[in-house]
Amino acid sequence: GENVEQHPSTLSVQEGDSAVIKCTYSDSASNYFPWYKQELGKGPQLIIDIRSNVGEKKDQRIAVTLNKTAKHFSLHITETQPEDSAVYFCAASKSGGGGADGLTFGKGTHLIIQP
């Protein structure tokens, strides 16, 4: 089955700096790659996603890039703010996110924004 590796497990950056989290996946049939943010006591919240027919997607301070050949995708957060502190998860799916095969998640990255 699919295997998703996520690095680093912990990332500490100064407020205002950029943060980059990287994931690799094993199944070339995967076609949907979402990123989730989880705050303490809450469920994961979708922050951005990308499909395999797109190489990059941006939403304000957040961007995701996908390299299908290398089977890796990355989350980029610019101008980090204290409210960006959370655990971030990458995931992969073969069903376009429509539900049938579920999401395979990475182990998560604890992002700490230092004031």
Contacts with other proteins, residue ranges (CB under 8 A) = 32, 34, 36, 41-46, 49, 89, 91, 96-108
SS3 state at 80: coil
Question: Looking at beta carbons only, is 4 or 19 nearer to other proteins?
Answer: 4
Question: Looking at beta carbons only, is 80 or 90 nearer to other proteins?
Answer: 90
Look up residue 37 and give its two tokens: 């943010």
Residue with tokens 């995708």: 73
Q: How far is the CB of 95 from other proteins (least distance, A)?
A: 9
**Contacts (Cβ under 8 Å, ≥6 apart) of 28:** 68, 71
Question: Looking at beta carbons only, is 80 or 104 nearer to other proteins?
Answer: 104
